[in-house]
């Protein structure tokens, strides 16, 4: 969760801000229902802060600058379903995990090629230093 007290992110992301007249939406049925449900679940809160600023939900996968999900609030009671958000977050992790696995496989392949090339270079250097040993090895192979 990210809290932006200076509201720089809200402004940069062009998130909706209610007017005082729309702010009277706090009296709307959806809001009072949300307050009642929260209270029943033992969740308390306060009305401190900027009550006119609408929030948003963003889900981004690790190591990615692409969003898996985005939802900007249209009203005070406008929130995505938590189960849906959890599924989206899992999708982002799954995508990221498979990308990381592919990157690791590519890296391992490159390392293996590099080691093989180095080993061959070392063998060639050794043969250049000791041509007699190399010819003895070649004769043993025949």
> Percentage of the chain with pLDDT > 70?
74
Task: Identify the CA nearest to 90 among candidates 64, 70, 61, 63.
Answer: 61
What is the reported pLDDT for 83?
94
4-11 LR contacts (CB < 8 Å, sep 24+): 7/50, 7/53, 10/53
What is the reported pLDDT for 84?
93
Checking if the pLDDT of 18 tops 70, the result is: yes
Between CA 142 and CA 138 the distance in angstroms is 7
pTM: 0.50
Q: Are 131 and 125 a contacting pair, CB within 8 Å?
A: no
Interval 31-65: pLDDT, tens: 777 778 888 998 877 767 777 788 889 888 777 77
Split at pLDDT 50, 70, 90, the class of 117 is: confident
What is the reported pLDDT for 81?
92
Strands (E), 17-102: 56-60, 67-72
Q: Domain residues of the chain, as ranges?
A: 8-80, 81-142
What is the reported pLDDT for 82?
92
């Amino acid at each position: 969760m990210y809290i932006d007290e200076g509201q720089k992110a809200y402004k940069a992301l062009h998130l909706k801000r209610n007017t005082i007249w729309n702010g009277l939406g706090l009296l709307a049925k959806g809001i009072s229902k949300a307050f009642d449900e929260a209270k029943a679940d033992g969740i308390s809160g306060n009305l401190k802060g900027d009550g006119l600023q609408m929030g948003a939900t963003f889900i981004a996968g690790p190591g990615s600058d692409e969003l898996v999900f985005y939802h900007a609030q249209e009203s005070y009671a406008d929130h995505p379903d938590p189960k849906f958000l959890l599924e989206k977050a899992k999708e982002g992790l799954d995508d990221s995990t498979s990308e990381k696995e592919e990157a690791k496989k590519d890296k391992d392949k490159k390392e293996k090629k590099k080691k093989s090339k180095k080993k061959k270079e070392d063998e060639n250097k050794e043969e250049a230093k000791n041509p007699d040993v190399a010819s003895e090895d070649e004769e043993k192979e025949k």
